[in-house]
Structure 1
């Protein structure tokens, strides 16, 4: 797969629109619109009630708004002036050559970008893949990287039911409500192979292979790739790996983190990318370091040398510096997911577990 994969994704489908409004399809599928001053005018004014009903999702808006309303907007001079201004701004933004990154970065190469990993991204309420501050920080990081022109590619998970919605019963007790997302009606594009089939990555865990497909969300100039295991060829248990953000047992959490870290690196390889830096935002993506180690050892690099190489190109930031913000797994849980992994590194079980010990010598 070529670097052209990182060009803005073209929507696989677009509803029939009056000719004057056809640029809306392109605008709706890039989250750039969320930080453009005209975005509320463009989408909310189509149908304010429908805008609320669709959870401010511009793709569903275009699918569900009546054609009569669209035809009326296509003859509204004020609306068209706003749309044309927005489209011109978007295209100038996306094609700008004089960016901060090109002027400043010593190494500017989209073939070797910064790979940013996080478990959640709070881009907008239409994409429920976040629960709070960590997600908002991660999304703002992508938006800022886009504004600066930094060659950055982001990796995350696409949760079928997201984070729970809160409701109170008649006695004042909180209840959790989970609702399925229809990925095809979100500002997402399914990543495909040249032959049109979905691009899949595989990760071995619990003595079986788990497959994940990739969806792409465009955040200005930055592509965000989200992995999803809800595939019919997966075991029913594995289809639920990406069901909930921060849901389930520690068994589910470790499975999610294998998909995010190990699957994320394998996705980058399938996209033809060799990042110069791997940025882990919180520890949820820490297993990516194991995959990078495995790659180095497979090339014939001694483990100690491989460890030094991986250390040089990995950075880590934390948003939640308390124990509750960092997952810990027992040796038995690690065995269930990594029993076939440490032999590939040329390590014993004890040496492998020591890589993740809280303290040196802690069993």
Structure 2
């Protein structure tokens, strides 16, 4: 971006505010940029770094002399400095542990903002929300991941509905990133042994208020062309590429932190991708004279591991020869311990004995957790043979149910309404259930008007998005139609937005197309369904499911009431989880570990209609959404699909549609609004990252801190 010296002196802090992504989840900071130049704010898709390069000098001069703007600007900078200091935070109140030895959080992806596209889906969104809440609570915390110069792909759909993946290099001038610096001020570059060679890794810093995120990048001219591509794309390449990426994430990530002077007290591995952290840390201790057993025990005491995957095939596992080949450079003079280390990952998940990254992490972590209560049960059953090997403890696999960062996901419109009726300090205490009882006192007509505005914003966003593609990309008429041009602003709107893959059954609602068509085309009570989501580039089944939805959107018998919104990202997600009326989730049980999109929707008053999988068995209390319950479980998938689809249709016909369209004299659906109130009241405090992260602190981090600091 342009140098801060080009900004008027009085508002030179805009550079600092724009390059710290703390602004993403703070209204006052976002409002600074909205008021600076709203047209440019929208033009840049809410990217203040790019925005400051485009705002005219005249407008900057006006802002620097505007008392109202300056008051907003000064307050945003004051809050940013308070976040960075961490002085008045929950962590300082909860513990006397200082900030010198932080929690190091490793993840393959982080979703902070759409201007930094280094995320693919739920894992990255959860990691991003985890980081935001860590900053808010004042935790000593540092994140480690990959930069991915080409990010995750942009999605476009052919005239026949087939997904195409387009990769674009991140424009560093437009990104809120900076080069990480070594102690001498030089740009930090570390070396990672990989096979019979060394790969150089540069490091980027992303500031997030009170915490830092360090992202690794192998795209350096000193590296061979194939090594420069290792960090190019998120989840790109074959198995061979994947194991090399994970070595760089784990071993390289530890080396990055050491080079920056960090000595973490707690090491949190978010999914098995980061498990090679264990190898590097064991190696460090072996070089200090520890035995392998003692080194492993020491590492284990300070390691926390979160697993997100309820399917054995979803856990990364590699042939031993592949792991050994690429780790050869890491053994150094420690070859005698080769068998000891390989044994940590040895596991047979039903397809032969392989080096399993989850097995490595579970054997090397004192605290292991799943991400919902049901997922905890599935995980304990799935990994029972390995769990029996571990040292005995009360909870070999805990369940810490995921949450969502409310400050980031609640709509601006709903925020305004809550400010009028909730206690003045509701944001500071939003994990306290008693705070949310006041939702019941919001007048029905006020909450309904709020929800109608939120649906209206989504409606206009979807139509404007496809209009812009028609104008600027010359997309064919079929894509314009499929993109939602015939949607109605007042119709009951069902949203289905998530990764397109077979187990999520995105096409279940089309099981009986004639029955669905009758529902959608009722002239007095119309229903429409908005889909969004990307299939993994290698997931042919997911791509075919997406293609089927696209073709349904063009089918005249559905009357234009099916839409597919292309290129699902954080920006699109905000509109959908805030603006739909119903959030549909119908995975094949029990394959949904958590499902945080439903939490975001429910906190915004979007009623969940879901299979009893993931978080919903904990969230559904009756009267705050609907449980898709076929009553009978079938061993045969086709029979189960038919039963689930029938249960879904019956809910729509008998409960959902009537509740939405039964109105009083003021045109307010009283029964619906009561459910909206219960959805917000019951979900917001229980399924927020504030509750989640406090639970991590109490159950996972503090025991690891105690063990680490005691043995230091």
Q: Which has the larger radius of gyration?
A: 2
After superposition, residues 150-229 of structure 1 pair within 5 angstroms as 150-229=139-218
Q: Which residue of 2 aligns with 1:42?
A: 32
Matched, 1:14 2:4: yes
Q: Is the 8 A contact 2:5 2:12 kept in 1?
A: no
Matched, 1:326 2:326: no
CA distance in 1 between counterparts of 2:68 and 2:238 reads 53
By how many angstroms is 1:348 displaced?
5.6
CA distance in 1 between counterparts of 2:140 and 2:181 reads 22
Matched, 1:116 2:105: yes
Q: Deviations over 1:225-251 (max 9, x none)?
A: 111111000111111111001111111
Matched, 1:146 2:130: no
Q: Find the partner of 1:99 among 89, 109, 112.
A: 89
- Could you tell which deviates more after superposition, 76-85 or 307-316? 76-85
Q: Deviations over 1:280-305 (max 9, x none)?
A: 00011100000001111111111111
Q: Is the 8 A contact 1:117 1:279 kept in 2?
A: yes
Q: Which residue of 2 aligns with 1:241?
A: 230
SS of 1:210's equivalent?
Answer: strand
Q: Deviations over 1:21-80 (max 9, x none)?
A: 212111111111111112332223444443344332211111222212222322333322
SS of 2:135's equivalent?
Answer: helix
CA distance in 1 between counterparts of 2:31 and 2:188 reads 36
- Could you tell which deviates more after superposition, 40-49 or 220-229? 40-49
Using structure 1 for the length normalisation, give the TM-score.
0.90
More helix by share: 2
Question: In angstroms, what is the RMSD of aligned CA positions?
Answer: 2.2
Q: Is the 8 A contact 1:15 1:62 kept in 2?
A: no
Q: Is the 8 A contact 1:12 1:189 kept in 2?
A: no
Q: 1:266 to 1:346 in 2, by over 3 A?
A: same
Q: Deviations over 1:174-196 (max 9, x none)?
A: 10010000234311121123444
Structure 1 residue ranges without an equivalent (≥5): 1-10
- Could you tell which deviates more after superposition, 91-100 or 252-261? 91-100
Matched, 1:293 2:289: no
Q: Which residue of 2 aligns with 1:315?
A: 304
Q: Which residue of 1 aligns with 2:523?
A: none
SS of 1:60's equivalent?
Answer: helix
CA distance in 2 between counterparts of 1:136 and 1:62 reads 27
Using structure 2 for the length normalisation, give the TM-score.
0.47
SS of 2:282's equivalent?
Answer: helix
Q: Which residue of 2 aligns with 1:89?
A: 79
Q: Deviations over 1:336-357 (max 9, x none)?
A: 2112434644436544322211
The number of aligned residues is 352
Structure 2 residue ranges without an equivalent (≥5): 355-712
SS of 1:358's equivalent?
Answer: strand
CA distance in 1 between counterparts of 2:28 and 2:229 reads 38
- Could you tell which deviates more after superposition, 120-129 or 343-352? 343-352
Q: RCO higher in 1 or 2 (8 Å CA, sep ≥ 6)?
A: 1
CA distance in 1 between counterparts of 2:96 and 2:183 reads 33
SS of 1:78's equivalent?
Answer: helix
Q: Is the 8 A contact 2:23 2:30 kept in 1?
A: no
SS of 2:346's equivalent?
Answer: coil
